Amino acid sequence: MIENNGCVLAAGAIEDECATYEMDLTGRKVLVVGLARSGEAAAKFLAARGARVTVNDSKTEAELAGRAARMRMLGIRLVLGSHPIDLFTEADLIVVSPGVPLSIEPLVKAKEAGVEIIGEIELAARNIRGKVVGITGSNGKTTTTTLIGELLKDSQLDTQVGGNIGTPLISLVEGSKDAGFSVIELSSFQLEGVTSLRANVAIVTNVTPDHMDRYTTFDDYVAAKRRIFLNQTASDIAILNADNEVTAAMVADTPAQMFLFSHHRELDRGIFTRGESLVYRDGSSEREVLKTSDIALRGTHNLENVMASLLAGLACGASVDSMREAIRRFRGVEHRLEWVATIDGVEYFNDSKATNVDAAAKAIEAFPGNIVLILGGKDKDSDYMTLSPLIRERIKHLVLIGAAADKIEAALHGVKPIVRASSMQDAVRQSRDLAESGDTVLLAPACASFDMFDNYEHRGRVFKEEVARLK
């Protein structure tokens, strides 16, 4: 049992160390597929350990620019522009970037040939030291991961943060310590490629339909999320959202000690809201750990993120008093309901990270109404009609951008007035013209960004730049 300022959390055997494999890579022919951020980091790691590394990407050298040049400077072989099957079948080991589906033909052929295929997260898991706090979910992963990192650091625990949040996990291996914590955001794509990852603390914030352009069924997507529980034991901790139907059903998926969080009901074991308080309970004992007024973040979904983070902090031995102060200071993460400016009485908010319909809904719910909503991007086979009730209740105008604009307009025609914009600059200017003092202009696209931008961060930065120009 770990006791934290009067809160008792049954997390005793989290003190057990994770197994580390320390792979011998010397002389092995390793193929890295995908030269994005994690692919580049994996290639560097492998080359530094004596592997014979080849990097393969369907993009050309011109498209990969600086990354390709950096690989050549390290003496790493590049095969670009296609995926030659013999390159895959002749490898000793293949490390796949999360953006590359495991179902592509060269990977299927390599698997049939007996080649081991893993993801960058798995490569890191076999070499990283200390304890792992893993966070997944359809929404809230990045905010929860960031906040947990802050809570542990403020309690003077040796902590590093990475994964899907931006810093590849493989880049954290060198700095990991036996007594430290690696707090990692895990996407469903990343979880597809793990086999030995052990999350000493595994958190699932929520699961709603997403990435249906990649998964055949919603059940396939849920199955990928469930892989966060692989290799957990009774000495580990699982933290789940009791208010989400899918995550609530995951209580049987792991032998780990189970803690839940809920905004709607009291729990025997976990954190819940009671009036204006967050209450922690373990069996018969309970304690108020925070006032809801201490949380600066907007929206019920962020209240859930805070509850999950508090449970993770308790599991890792963070001080309740320290966590309370850290939460009071926490103002959120860039591109997640980020306040940008107030111009002529109109507030502008950037939630570019709202890359699916459920995330967009949560962003809309954070405001009482009078919203001009910028929506659109690259479709993920989403059902935009589910947004109709919220749009009818809280939205004044819809401004549509990107490749999904036709599909969104067809789904939401007649719900509220719709205008089309040719660019983010056009969208921001039209939003300014449609908004009145007291209104909110909200970028919550409900789509991926790759039709117009490099990623959601690029999209959010462009939005902020265009808002700045309005001043």
Q: Give the active site residues.
A: 141, 164, 211
- Taking the C-alpha atoms of residue 14 and residue 288, their distance in angstroms, rounded to an integer, is 24
Instruction: Supply the angle between the helices 357-365 and 300-316 in degrees, to the nearest 10.
Output: 100
Neighbours of 163 (CB within 10 A): 29
Residues 6 or more apart in contact with residue 92 via CB below 8 angstroms: 28, 29, 30, 115, 116
- 373's tokens: 């909503």
DSSP symbol at 448: B
SS3 (DSSP) at 361? helix
Residues 446 and 382 sit within 8 Å (Cβ to Cβ): yes
Token reading at 162: 């990475």
Q: 35-49: buried (b, 16+ CB within 10 Å) or exposed (e) per residue?
A: bbbbbbbbbbbbbeb
Question: Distances in Å between the alpha carbon of 42 and those of 61, 99, 182, 378?
Answer: 19, 14, 17, 28
Q: How far apart are CA 88 and CA 111, in angstroms?
A: 9
Only one residue has tokens 């309740």, namely 320
Q: Name the helix (H) or strand (E) containing 246.
A: helix 245-248
The label of the residue with tokens 């699932």 reads 204
Spatial CA neighbour of 193 closest among 159, 169, 162, 161: 169
Q: Which is nearest to 134 in space by CA: 248, 252, 237?
A: 237
Strand (E) or helix (H) holding 289: strand 285-291
For residues 282 and 314, what is the distance between their CA atoms, to the nearest angstrom?
12
Distance, in Å, from the CA atom of 203 to the CA atom of 312, rounded to the nearest integer, reads 8
Let me know: does 302 contact 336? Beta carbons within 8 Å: no
Quick one: 432 exposed, middle or buried, by C-beta within 10 A (0-12, 13-18, 19+)?
Answer: middle
Contact of 44 with 72, CB cutoff 8 Å: no
Name the CA dihedral angle for 420, 422, 427, 433, rounded to a multiple of 10 degrees: -70
CA atoms within 13 A on the CB side of 423: 6
Tokens 């074991």, located at residue:
269
